[in-house]
Protein backbone atom coordinates (compact mmCIF):
# COMPACT_ATOMS: atom_id res chain seq x y z
CA UNK A 1 0.00 0.00 0.00
CA UNK A 2 1.23 3.48 -0.77
CA UNK A 3 -0.02 7.04 -0.81
CA UNK A 4 -3.06 7.76 -3.00
CA UNK A 5 -1.58 8.92 -6.34
CA UNK A 6 -4.07 11.82 -6.49
CA UNK A 7 -2.68 13.14 -3.20
CA UNK A 8 0.93 12.35 -4.14
CA UNK A 9 0.51 14.38 -7.33
CA UNK A 10 -0.46 17.48 -5.32
CA UNK A 11 2.64 17.42 -3.08
CA UNK A 12 5.49 19.85 -3.66
CA UNK A 13 8.37 18.28 -1.79
CA UNK A 14 11.74 19.56 -0.57
CA UNK A 15 14.86 18.42 -2.38
CA UNK A 16 14.95 15.37 -0.12
CA UNK A 17 11.32 14.44 -0.81
CA UNK A 18 9.58 15.81 2.27
CA UNK A 19 6.71 18.07 3.23
CA UNK A 20 6.41 19.99 6.50
CA UNK A 21 3.80 18.69 8.95
CA UNK A 22 2.43 21.26 11.38
CA UNK A 23 0.79 19.74 14.43
CA UNK A 24 -1.97 21.59 16.24
CA UNK A 25 -3.84 20.57 19.39
CA UNK A 26 -7.58 20.10 18.84
CA UNK A 27 -9.65 22.54 20.85
CA UNK A 28 -6.94 24.85 22.15
CA UNK A 29 -5.33 25.57 18.76
CA UNK A 30 -1.83 25.42 20.22
CA UNK A 31 0.90 24.63 17.69
CA UNK A 32 2.66 21.68 19.30
CA UNK A 33 5.48 20.84 16.90
CA UNK A 34 6.67 20.61 13.32
CA UNK A 35 8.02 17.42 11.80
CA UNK A 36 8.71 16.09 8.32
CA UNK A 37 6.78 13.57 6.24
CA UNK A 38 7.68 11.57 3.19
CA UNK A 39 4.89 9.99 1.16
CA UNK A 40 4.92 6.82 3.25
CA UNK A 41 4.65 8.73 6.55
CA UNK A 42 1.68 10.67 5.21
CA UNK A 43 0.07 7.48 3.96
CA UNK A 44 0.49 5.81 7.35
CA UNK A 45 -0.88 8.87 9.15
CA UNK A 46 -3.96 9.00 6.93
CA UNK A 47 -4.69 5.29 7.22
CA UNK A 48 -3.93 4.74 10.92
CA UNK A 49 -4.76 8.16 12.46
CA UNK A 50 -1.55 7.72 14.45
CA UNK A 51 0.82 10.58 13.60
CA UNK A 52 3.83 9.23 11.72
CA UNK A 53 6.78 11.29 10.52
CA UNK A 54 10.09 10.96 8.71
CA UNK A 55 13.37 11.48 10.54
CA UNK A 56 15.93 13.32 8.42
CA UNK A 57 18.76 12.23 10.72
CA UNK A 58 17.81 8.55 10.91
CA UNK A 59 16.36 8.28 7.40
CA UNK A 60 13.24 6.40 8.46
CA UNK A 61 9.62 6.80 9.48
CA UNK A 62 8.78 7.09 13.16
CA UNK A 63 5.50 6.91 15.00
CA UNK A 64 5.13 9.77 17.46
CA UNK A 65 5.02 8.36 20.99
CA UNK A 66 6.14 4.88 20.01
CA UNK A 67 8.82 4.92 22.70
CA UNK A 68 7.62 7.79 24.95
CA UNK A 69 3.92 6.93 24.96
CA UNK A 70 3.22 10.56 23.97
CA UNK A 71 1.11 9.59 20.99
CA UNK A 72 -0.97 11.80 18.74
CA UNK A 73 -4.43 10.75 17.63
CA UNK A 74 -5.08 12.49 14.33
CA UNK A 75 -8.51 14.10 13.92
CA UNK A 76 -7.91 16.08 10.73
CA UNK A 77 -5.30 16.42 7.99
CA UNK A 78 -5.32 19.37 5.59
CA UNK A 79 -3.01 20.10 2.69
CA UNK A 80 -2.07 23.70 1.97
CA UNK A 81 -2.64 25.59 -1.25
CA UNK A 82 0.75 24.88 -2.77
CA UNK A 83 1.20 21.34 -1.48
CA UNK A 84 4.33 21.78 0.61
CA UNK A 85 2.82 21.43 4.07
CA UNK A 86 0.09 19.57 5.89
CA UNK A 87 -1.76 20.63 9.02
CA UNK A 88 -2.58 17.87 11.50
CA UNK A 89 -5.19 18.51 14.17
CA UNK A 90 -4.52 16.04 16.96
CA UNK A 91 -5.27 14.93 20.47
CA UNK A 92 -1.86 14.87 22.14
CA UNK A 93 -1.15 12.49 25.01
CA UNK A 94 1.40 14.00 27.42
CA UNK A 95 3.90 16.66 26.39
CA UNK A 96 4.44 17.06 22.65
CA UNK A 97 8.16 17.83 22.89
CA UNK A 98 10.84 15.22 23.51
CA UNK A 99 12.42 17.66 25.98
CA UNK A 100 9.35 17.35 28.22
CA UNK A 101 8.07 20.81 27.31
CA UNK A 102 4.37 21.09 26.48
CA UNK A 103 5.18 22.24 22.93
CA UNK A 104 8.40 22.35 20.91
CA UNK A 105 8.10 26.15 20.70
CA UNK A 106 8.07 26.88 24.44
CA UNK A 107 11.77 27.25 25.16
CA UNK A 108 13.31 29.61 22.61
CA UNK A 109 11.61 32.98 22.10
CA UNK A 110 13.40 35.03 19.41
CA UNK A 111 11.02 38.01 19.49
CA UNK A 112 8.18 39.04 21.77
Binding site for a copy of itself (CB under 8 A): 7, 10, 14-16, 20, 22, 24, 28-31, 33-34, 45-46, 49, 74-82, 84-87, 97-99, 101, 104-112
14-39 as b/e, with b when 16 or more CB fall inside 10 Å?
Answer: eeeebbebbbbbeeeeeebbebbbbb
> Rounded to the nearest whole angstrom, what is the least distance from the CB of residue 24 to a copy of itself in the complex?
6
Nearer to a copy of itself, 62 or 105 (CB): 105
> Rounded to the nearest whole angstrom, what is the least distance from the CB of residue 26 to a copy of itself in the complex?
11
Helix or strand run (H / E) with residue 55: strand 52-55
> Rounded to the nearest whole angstrom, what is the least distance from the CB of residue 108 to a copy of itself in the complex?
4
**Contacts of 67 by beta carbon, 8 Å cutoff, 6+ apart:** none
Amino acid sequence: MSLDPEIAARLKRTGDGLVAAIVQQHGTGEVLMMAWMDDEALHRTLTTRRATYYSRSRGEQWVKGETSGHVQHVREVRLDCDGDSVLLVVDQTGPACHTGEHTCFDADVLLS
